[in-house]
């Protein structure tokens, strides 16, 4: 049966040294730290690595407007935008600033997603594209640190390649509003999102169904591993299984863990590994992307743990010195240095707790729709 091949990791050097700005939440290294950490652990042999291509403007126009794509290219070339472009397209704002790679970097993330789609459509199996998962970008506007919507473009490519149904599962702390918009009313794509309630972009309410395509579960602050396990087993997995997808796209944002500064959820990275493990058996094809995550150490550890799960690596209890060195050289000017646990281990300790009645109630509401 297809889907039992070697896991593939898609990366690029475009992310190395690329910053949204000195005080922006994306002033940190993320994808390069994951690459370096996995290499230090000997988890990235040549046969599993693919260098991400850069998506061409024509591919981006599959969902994004031609005027917007041209404006994004022009902003990178000029290093500035007019007030009109800022107002119309959301470029040059605090959230989506002008920076040297502002077209090439997101276009490379999309190129990685398109390559992932082609690999799994042809061969089945699993692909990890940690630079992807930019789920807030809108057809004609940058939003929420996202200039291009890689999940929408990747899933559209999967459908174009002949797949009939794709399940999109989003466990980022923030609701993937752009993806929900992209597939509103679709009978081919099921969008499932678990995200913090009353958190930007303030969409994804329980009753929002996007014409029947979406299952939204906003969760309260303090959402813990025990509650995530319930949500996974009672809502996410049944909703995916009932849809019988040909492929699953997991947006594995790293901002729902306790140490992240842009959310108030309290998951460990074990919840993300659990989601990967559980979803892998529900379709012959799995694409996993990155997403949010604004603490350099927790992002590097979480996405490296995800890659370990996808590629069948044994996770050491204590990291070897070469791997520790990767974590120790990360810089977070906004918050300083972490404790030793984040520098010497990969897997978090479990962060379990009581399961609140409101979560049980809302899961039961969504189960009625499955």
Give CA angle at 141 (107, 209), nearest 5°: 100
Q: CA-CA distance, 105 to 107, in Å (whole number)?
A: 5
Decide the pairing of beta strands 8-11 and 166-170. Answer: unpaired
From 64, 89, 136, 157, active-site residue:
136
Cβ 38 vs Cβ 11: under 8 Å: no
Quote the CA–CA distance of 106 and 132 in Å, as a whole number: 8
Active site residue 136: yes
DSSP 14: G
* DSSP labels, 212-264: GTEEEEEE-TT--HHHHHHHIIIIIHHHHHHH--SEEEEE--STTBTT-TT--
Can you tell me whether residue 123 is helix, strand or coil?
Answer: helix
Strand-pairing partners, residue 219, are: 196
- d(Cα 69, Cα 72) in Å, to the nearest integer? 5
What's the CA gap between 297 and 275, in Å, rounded?
21
Nearest to 151 by CA among 293, 28, 299, 290: 290
Determine how β-strand 285-289 pairs with β-strand 247-251.
Answer: parallel
Cα–Cα distance measured from residue 99 to residue 77, given in angstroms and rounded to the nearest whole number:
10
Residues labelled catalytic:
136
């Amino acid at each position: 049966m297809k889907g039992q091949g070697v896991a593939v990791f898609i990366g690029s050097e475009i992310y190395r040294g690329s910053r949204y700005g000195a005080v922006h939440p994306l002033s940190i290294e993320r994808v390069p730290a994951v690459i370096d950490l996995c290499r230090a652990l000997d988890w990235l042999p040549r046969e599993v690595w693919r260098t991400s291509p850069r998506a061409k403007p024509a591919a981006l126009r599959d969902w994004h407007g031609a005027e917007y794509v041209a404006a994004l290219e022009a902003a990178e070339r000029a290093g500035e935008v007019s007030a009109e472009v800022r107002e119309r397209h959301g470029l040059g704002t605090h959230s989506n600033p002008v920076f040297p790679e502002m077209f090439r970097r997101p276009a490379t993330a999309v190129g990685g997603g398109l390559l992932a789609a082609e690999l799994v459509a042809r061969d089945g199996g699993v692909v990890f594209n940690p630079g992807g998962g930019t789920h807030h970008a809108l057809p004609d506007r940058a939003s929420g640190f996202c200039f291009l919507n890689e999940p929408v473009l990747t899933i559209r490519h999967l459908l174009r390649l002949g797949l009939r149904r794709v399940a999109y599962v989003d466990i980022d702390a923030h609701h993937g509003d752009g993806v929900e918009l992209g597939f509103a009313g679709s009978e081919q794509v099921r969008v499932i999102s678990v995200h913090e309630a009353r958190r930007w972009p303030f969409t994804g309410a329980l009753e929002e169904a996007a014409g029947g395509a979406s299952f939204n579960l906003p969760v309260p602050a303090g959402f813990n591993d025990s509650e995530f396990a319930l949500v996974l087993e009672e809502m996410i997995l049944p909703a995916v299984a009932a849809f019988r997808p040909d492929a699953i796209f997991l947006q594995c944002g790293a901002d729902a863990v306790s140490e992240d500064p842009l959310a108030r959820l309290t998951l460990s990275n074990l919840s993300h590994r659990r989601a990967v493990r559980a979803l892998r058996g529900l379709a012959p094809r799995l694409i996993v992307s990155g997403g949010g995550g604004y603490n350099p150490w927790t992002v590097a550890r979480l996405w490296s743990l995800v890659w370990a799960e996808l590629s069948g690596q044994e996770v050491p209890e204590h990291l070897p010195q070469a791997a520790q060195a990767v974590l120790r050289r990360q810089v977070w000017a906004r918050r300083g240095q972490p404790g030793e646990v984040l520098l010497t281990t990969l897997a978090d300790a479990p962060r379990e707790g009581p399961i609140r009645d409101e979560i049980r109630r809302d899961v039961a509401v969504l189960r009625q729709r499955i």
